[in-house]
Structure 1
Amino acid sequence: MKLVYFAWVRERIGRAEEELAPPPEVTTVTDLIAWLRGRGEEYAYAFEDPGVVRAAIDRTHAKPDAAIAGAGEIAFFPPMTGG
């Protein structure tokens, strides 16, 4: 699946996007974040407070318990504010 990172999540990881194949036990957004945190210091830093980072599955906002099976793209971004 394609993972896309925005704003400070992208800056901390050091890339805008990548293609990854998480293991079968990674079934939700929360699982995916936990798995990513184990991939290295940059991921651990980007997801140090997983409750802050938002996700979208195929361009639709997703809750942490959303299933990721069949997703083509998952995007991670910090909370947005209006102005």
Structure 2
Amino acid sequence: MINVLLFADLQEAVGSEEVNVEAEGLSVSELRTKLKASYDLTNLDNAMTAVNEEYSDEDTMLKSGDTVAFIPPVSGG
């Protein structure tokens, strides 16, 4: 299982700050696609991704026990 952390509007859309997903052997890109389909997260494409507290790219492969954070862009003034 992969622990997925969500922030800001992503968290609001899912209704939880974290979800567990069966995604071992998937890339970050494939996990993103799976989450978009499962939770209708159309704005997930704009989020930065961190795997185990380190920023990652879309090709990073995931293994059981990983924690993936999707961090949406922040704006304000």
Which deviates further from its counterpart, 68-77 or 51-60? 68-77
1:8-67 deviations in whole A, cap 9, x for unaligned?
11111111012221265xx2111001111221xxx22x2x14431111100001112221
Whole-Å separation in 1 of the counterparts to 2:9 and 2:44: 13
Specify every segment of 5 or more residues in structure 1 that has no aligned partner in the other structure, as ranges: none
Q: What's 2:10 paired with? A: 9
**Root-mean-square deviation (Å):** 2.3
Q: Identity over the aligned pairs, expressed in percent?
A: 21
The reply to whether residue 37 of structure 1 matches residue 19 of structure 2 is: no
User: Given residue 37 of structure 2, which amino acid in structure 1 is its aligned partner?
Assistant: G
Following superposition, the deviation at residue 80 of structure 1 comes to: 3.9
Q: Which has the higher helix share?
A: 2
User: Given residue 55 of structure 2, which amino acid in structure 1 is its aligned partner?
Assistant: H
- Contact 1:3-1:18 at 8 Å conserved across structures: yes
Following superposition, the deviation at residue 4 of structure 1 comes to: 0.7
Specify every segment of 5 or more residues in structure 2 that has no aligned partner in the other structure, as ranges: none
1:23–1:62 distance in 2 versus 1, CA, 3 Å: closer
Q: TM-score, normalised by structure 1?
A: 0.73
